[in-house]
């Protein structure tokens, strides 16, 4: 079943399904309209000769340097190339897929100015299993996952490296094998692709889901230990835990009671 992106309703469970189970992804009609509207707004700025940061100017210390219109595409390509300076081992495939998905979902909100065709190419890569090689180290944290997202974007423009069907290939070769045409970035697209926190969000989502699974396993193991010792479940009575202002404690006690319901190995409190 396809997961539709609108920038607002993606759940952690859906991220896991795309990351681990390779569920297909598509944009909602609303997202397509919003993305196109923002791209049209960027094009209007260009047509009107408006000086706009990251569109017709440089970045950071070069914010006051106006970029000629015939250099706008090169500027966006350069921001990808110049920021692809990550180091260390590459993220595993599920994490890479989560990164790509979350970046696509963010762009689907229609506030970044990216063209619909460019966003669709990123989604096509995800659906086809073209996984950019993204080094684990290099993020600026809250200032943005600039370096890792630049490595993700390299493959989008036919550069860098990618895993495809079990092989590590040059980005352009991986795209060619998958039947996907690399993108020539337009105004603001390099900035839109890299200026975000999709990497740390992906890591946070996957680790949170792992922690939730571990928590359930711990509860199950605890109940099995209680049964092995012929203990009493009286301590998990919800009336006891309702006295404390800790919702997760109440939830945990309720879950333990459910697990132990009908057990033949526990005893009532003497």
Residue 270's pLDDT band (cuts 50, 70, 90): low
How much is the pLDDT for 268? 73
pLDDT, tens digit, 9 for 90 and up, residues 219-237? 999 999 999 999 999 999 9
How many residues in the chain?
270
Question: The pTM is what?
Answer: 0.92
How much is the pLDDT for 192? 96
Task: Provide the residue ranges of all domains of the chain, joining segments of one domain with +.
Answer: 3-206, 212-260
Interval 92-115 mean pLDDT: 98
Interval 71-78 mean pLDDT: 93
Give percent above pLDDT 90 in the chain: 89
Residue 212 predicted with pLDDT over 80: yes
pLDDT, tens digit, 9 for 90 and up, residues 157-203? 999 999 999 999 999 999 999 999 999 999 999 999 999 999 999 99
Instruction: Return the exposure string of 53-72: e unless at least 16 CB atoms fall within 10 Å of the residue's CB, then b.
Output: ebbbebbeeeeeeebeeeeb
DSSP codes joined into one string, 104-167 = HHHHTTS-S---HHHHHHHHHHHHHT-EE--EEE---GGG--HHHHHHHHHHHTT-SEEEETTE
Residue 136 predicted with pLDDT over 90: yes
Measured CA to CA in angstroms, residue 147 lies from 6, 65, 134, 157 at distances of 25, 23, 9, 15
Residue 125 predicted with pLDDT over 80: yes
What value does the mean pLDDT of the chain take?
95
Q: Which of 109-113, 212-216, 235-239 has the lowest mean pLDDT?
A: 235-239
Residue 20 appears among annotated catalytic residues:
no
Interval 90-97 mean pLDDT: 99
CA distance 170 to 243: 60
Residue 144's pLDDT band (cuts 50, 70, 90): confident
Domain 3-206: assigned CATH number: 1.10.275.10
pLDDT, tens digit, 9 for 90 and up, residues 14-55? 999 999 999 999 999 999 999 999 999 999 999 999 999 989
How much is the pLDDT for 251? 93
């Amino acid at each position: 079943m396809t997961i539709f992106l609108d920038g607002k309703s993606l759940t952690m469970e859906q991220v896991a399904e795309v990351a681990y189970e390779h569920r297909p992804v598509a944009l909602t009609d609303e997202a397509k309209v919003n993305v196109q509207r923002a791209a049209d707004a960027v094009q209007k700025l260009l047509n009107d000769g408006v000086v706009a940061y990251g569109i017709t100017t440089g970045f950071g210390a070069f914010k006051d340097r106006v970029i000629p219109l015939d250099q706008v595409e090169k500027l966006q390509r350069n921001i990808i190339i110049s920021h692809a300076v990550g180091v260390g081992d590459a993220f595993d495939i599920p994490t890479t897929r989560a990164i790509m998905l979350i970046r696509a979902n963010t762009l689907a909100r229609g506030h970044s100015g990216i063209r619909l065709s460019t966003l669709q190419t990123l989604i096509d890569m995800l659906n086809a299993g073209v996984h950019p090689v993204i080094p684990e180290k290099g993020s600026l944290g809250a200032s943005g996952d600039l370096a890792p997202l630049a490595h993700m974007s390299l493959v989008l423009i036919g550069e860098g490296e990618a895993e495809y069907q079990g092989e590590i290939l040059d980005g352009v070769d991986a795209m060619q094998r998958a039947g996907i045409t690399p993108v020539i970035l337009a105004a603001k697209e390099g900035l839109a692709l890299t200026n975000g926190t999709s990497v740390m969000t992906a890591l946070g989502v996957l680790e949170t889901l792992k922690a939730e699974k571990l928590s359930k396993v711990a509860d199950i193991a605890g109940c099995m230990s209680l049964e092995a010792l012929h203990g009493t479940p009286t301590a998990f009575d919800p009336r006891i835990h309702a006295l404390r202002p800790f919702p997760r404690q109440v939830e945990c006690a309720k879950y333990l009671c459910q697990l132990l319901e009908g057990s033949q190995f526990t005893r009532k409190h003497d």
